[in-house]
Structure 1
Amino acid sequence: MHDYFKDKMETWEGKLVRLKRECSTGVYIFKKGTLMRVWSANNVRVILRTLPCEACGIQASATIRGKKTDYKIFFDFVEEKE
């Protein structure tokens, strides 16, 4: 598996990730193991979005603030199967 943490953060957009720990936004609590997609990434924050609900299509998002080296404790990149 490619180590995206070594790449520029701009290349993370659209990548699939799995949460390594429970994350809370104040509105939602995302459980460990939740699959999300990187919606936006820069040197200040990463915005993750859940995959669309199969029934209604709704998505929720979470913002993680920190440095690039901090994000490894929150999520791992997942290879997508075609």
Structure 2
Amino acid sequence: MDTPGSTSRAGHLRTALRRLVLGAFLGVVVLITLLVGAAVLSVTGVSFDPHGYGMFAGILFAAVLMPVALMLWVSYRSLLRGGN
């Protein structure tokens, strides 16, 4: 049985996987934030985007990455609980 203080190989692999999933989640969240920021700058006219492609791309890519972030978060929480 893997406990938080376990020194077994499976415990170490689970910890490494949990940290990898958390890092991927944080990376996706940062990317979503940057895309939404680019879309907001495009909408407000602060950035030079005469055709509005930045707005469409920011909204579209952020919408595609939202389920990815949600699944990574659910996976992280599942690994944190111990998979019960």
TM bracket, shorter-chain basis:
under 0.3
Larger proportion of strand: 1
Choose 1 or 2 for highest CA Rg.
Answer: 2
TM-score by length of 2: 0.21
User: Taking structure 1 as the reference length, what is the TM-score of the superposition?
Assistant: 0.22
